[in-house]
Amino acid sequence: MSSTDETYERISYDKRQGFWDFIESPIVIHFVLALAVLTVIVPIFWEVLTSLKTNEAVYNLNYFPRDPTLSSYYQVLIGESYWKAVLNSVIISTSTTVAVIILAVPAGYAFSRYRFRGDNILFIGVLFSRLFPPIGLIVPYYQIMSWLDLLNSLPGIIIAQIYLWLPLMIYIMRNFFMSIPQDLDESARVDGCTQLQAFRKIGLPLALPGVAACAILTFLYSWREFLFSLIVTTDLGSMPISVAVYQFVGDVSVQWASLAAASVIAIIPTILVVVFFQRYIVSGLTAGALKE
């Protein structure tokens, strides 16, 4: 028996039980939850306060703006025309989500239902593509996009987003379809359905919570993606908001108020998506999307 175990045994049962009763008490649980919420809320709140200042007033070290102004939002959306970047992000994220769902749902179903030579190797190969650090793929991706003349274009960014998120969504949809009893498909086949009809009439309706979860996650991931978009585009006409925000970081100075305003604008759509579709995210993930 180790010294740690001996020390633990010397502590009376009542003291040990009292310790765990305290750890599991509502006070501790609520304190931990409140701390977690504050960890998320405080930076956003601070960013909103900063966005209500001018770029000069940021340096006066006051926590709250003395003269709140929306001039930074006006500069970002009107003066710098960053509304184009917001529109680009909507187009990129929506297009990526549609393409990923169209590809990931049947692929996930196929990996969950069909057995053929090399199916495991093929599935591992799909996941293996996501093991590379994205920074290591920047050079070949840039060269391919340059060869295809897709630099500074929305299709170039959308292709990158599909490559980034498709393997993960195939994995999620495969696990979700595996949680649906295969006997239902076989019953449909006995009733005269083809495999495709069994997928369309049985598998797909039951997998809709997982499809919704994948669509929402793909949209959120695509909206915040930065690295590949930064490499592919340098033009505001095709730049997503995640990259446009970075334009306020200069070589010798940072326009903090404008940067904060652009960041607040960038996170508003993601907050709305989470608030309105939270039920689908939770139900989709807990219903089997991430379960084996």
Give yes or no for residue 129 having a pLDDT over 70: yes
Residue 291: per-residue pLDDT: 47
Pair (98, 24) in one structural domain: no
Residue 95: per-residue pLDDT: 95
Pair (133, 19) in one structural domain: no
Pair (102, 20) in one structural domain: no
- CA dist., res. 88 & res. 43, Å (int): 26
pLDDT band of residue 4 (cuts 50, 70, 90) is low
Residue span of the structural domain in which 29 resides: 4-52
**Domain contains 147:** yes
Domain count, the chain: 2
**Domain contains 61:** no
Pair (154, 282) in one structural domain: yes
Pair (205, 145) in one structural domain: yes
**Domain contains 58:** no
**Domain contains 217:** yes
Give yes or no for residue 225 having a pLDDT over 50: yes
pLDDT digits over 134-183, tens only? 788 888 888 888 898 888 889 989 998 898 889 989 988 888 888 888 88
* Amino acid identity, position 175: N
Pair (151, 249) in one structural domain: yes
Average pLDDT on 245-272 reads 83
Residue 98: per-residue pLDDT: 95
Residue 5: per-residue pLDDT: 66
Pair (25, 90) in one structural domain: no
Report DSSP letters for 161-188, one per residue.
HHHHHHHHHHHHHHHHHHTS-HHHHHHH
**Domain contains 20:** yes
Note the residue count of the chain: 292
Pair (230, 91) in one structural domain: yes
Pair (162, 24) in one structural domain: no
- CA dist., res. 173 & res. 160, Å (int): 20
Looking up residue 193, the CATH number of its domain turns out to be 1.10.3720.10
Pair (22, 113) in one structural domain: no
Pair (107, 227) in one structural domain: yes
Token pair in block for residue 199: 């997928």
- CA dist., res. 283 & res. 292, Å (int): 16
Pair (103, 145) in one structural domain: yes
**Domain contains 62:** no
Average pLDDT of the chain is 83
